[in-house]
Amino acid sequence: MIIAIDGPAASGKGTLARRLAAHLGLPHLDTGLLYRATARALIDHGHDLSDRTAAISAARSLALTDFDEALLRGREMAEAASVVAAIAEVRAALIDMQRSFASRPGGAVLDGRDIGTVICPEAACKIFVTASDDARATRRALELRARGEKVDYGAVLEEIRKRDQRDSNRAAAPLKPAKDAVVLDTTKLDVDAAFKAALAMVEAAFARARAQTAV
């Protein structure tokens, strides 16, 4: 069973995906790390993030073992990943890797921005996680402070809005809920409440899938 978790930055989708995967005993893939790793490779080799040829080459040579999360987290890499992710050929180069992960026996949990719409449109459960701009900026600011980074709330809010605009308006796989996704607004939910709501959605989706299989 495939669980697709999509949503904008700092909506809580990654935390939910990790908790659901652990609870259900399924492998988890934060697909955003693929784009961060691609951007990191460009930066490390002195390429501009808009260098389409270099970006495509970096994406095609990527492996799931290339993820050093300590180097891939933070505001700089989030912004860089968003730039690289807007390149259609980069997204195309990473599709097979994501679909291969999703097709593991027993299923998987994947979170990103186009899992339910492009990567796994056949997923049994699709959840689109969202929250208000202010709530997401507050969460991101707290996360950055916890890493020891200096934070300007206004700048964080502006970055989130710019990324939303870029992700939603790009030509390749724009950020949007799948038609059959369930929307989960986490603005007023703490981590435990959001997990409880998401788990109920997953269990309902699995029940529907079992019922259809039994027919």
CA-to-CA distance for 185 and 12, rounded, in angstroms?
A: 10
Question: Model confidence over 123-166: pLDDT tens digits?
Answer: 999 999 999 999 999 999 998 899 888 899 999 999 999 989 98
Q: Indicate the pLDDT class of residue 168, thresholds 50, 70 and 90.
A: very high
Residue range 64-74: mean pLDDT, rounded: 76
Kindly state the DSSP code that residue 3 receives in the 8-state scheme. E
- The three-state DSSP-derived secondary structure of 109-161 is EEEECCHHHHHCCCCCEEEEEECCHHHHHHHHHHHHHHCCCCCCHHHHHHHHH
- Which residue in the block uniquely carries the two structure tokens 């599709």? 95
Locate the domains of the chain by residue range.
Answer: 2-203
Q: How far is CA 151 from the centre of its chain?
A: 23
Work out the average pLDDT over 164-174: 90
> Given pLDDT bands bounded at 50, 70 and 90, which one contains residue 215?
low
How is domain 2-203 classified at the CATH fold level? Rossmann fold (3.40.50)
Instruction: Grade residue 63 by pLDDT with cuts at 50, 70 and 90.
Output: confident
Phi, psi for residue 185 in degrees, rounded to 5: -90, 115
Is the confidence at residue 182, as pLDDT, over 80?
yes
Q: Beta strands 182-185 and 125-130: pairing type? A: parallel
* Cα–Cα distance for residue pair 201/49, rounded to 1 Å: 38
- In the predicted model, what is the mean pLDDT of residues 89-96? 93
* 114 pLDDT tier (thresholds 50, 70, 90): very high
Tokens of 36: 């961060």
Band the pLDDT of 54: cuts 50, 70, 90. Answer: very high
